[in-house]
């Protein structure tokens, strides 16, 4: 089975960029596909430009839905920044979409805190 990967390099010239970089993850079930989880917090390490319009937007999707369950906005930052926000969502799977118009957008890592809900056989 062949797989392919497409990586798009955004325009990194000195002229302001009008494109938005979008990264969407797969659905994560954290090894427990049939169990509900309470997703409590998200921490992200990132860098954008320092212009206010270059903030980082994270959209959270639950259980494979096409509808956004929660949208979080993180401030623009010209240096690597670690920030956290409350998610307070319940579902079996979580998918994240990151968006930024910053010319120097870097997504370093993401940590999601969660707890399982209910009985596990």
Among residues 115, 54, 97, the alpha carbon closest in space to that of 79 is found at 54
Query: What whole-number distance in Å separates Cα of residue 70 and Cα of residue 8?
Result: 26
Q: Find all residues with CB under 8 Å of 89, minimum gap 6, and list them.
A: 38, 39, 60, 62, 69, 70
Residues contacting 67, CB < 8 A, separation 6+? 61
Residues 17-46 have pLDDT tens digits of: 567 889 999 999 999 999 999 999 999 999
The predicted pLDDT at position 15 comes to 60
Give the pLDDT score at 14. Answer: 59
66 vs 103, higher pLDDT:
66
Task: Give residue 10's pLDDT.
Answer: 53
Does residue 120 have a pLDDT over 90? no
Q: Which residues pair with 98 in a beta bridge?
A: 23, 58
Q: Using 50, 70 and 90 to split pLDDT, how confident is the model at 105? A: confident
State residue 119's pLDDT score: 62
Domains of the chain listed by start with CATH number: 21-116 (2.60.120.260)
Considering the entire predicted model, what is its pTM? Answer: 0.82
The pLDDT tens digits of the residues spanning 74-104 come to 999 889 999 999 999 999 999 999 999 877 8
Q: Is the pLDDT of residue 6 over 90?
A: no
Q: Are 41 and 85 contacting, i.e. CB atoms less than 8 angstroms apart?
A: yes
Altogether, the residues listed in the chain come to a count of 121
Q: 16 is written with which tokens?
A: 């302001």
């Amino acid at each position: 089975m062949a797989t392919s990967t497409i990586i798009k390099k955004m325009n990194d010239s000195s002229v302001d960029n009008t494109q938005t970089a979008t990264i969407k993850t797969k659905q994560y079930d954290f090894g427990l596909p049939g169990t509900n989880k309470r997703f409590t917090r998200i921490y992200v390490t990132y860098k954008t430009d320092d212009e206010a319009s270059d903030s980082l937007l994270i959209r959270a999707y639950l259980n494979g839905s096409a509808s956004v369950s929660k949208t979080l906005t993180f401030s623009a930052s010209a240096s690597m920044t670690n920030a956290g926000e409350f998610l307070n969502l319940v579902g079996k799977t979580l998918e994240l979409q990151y968006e930024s118009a910053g010319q120097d957008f870097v997504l370093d890592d993401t940590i999601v805190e969660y707890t399982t809900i209910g009985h596990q056989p």
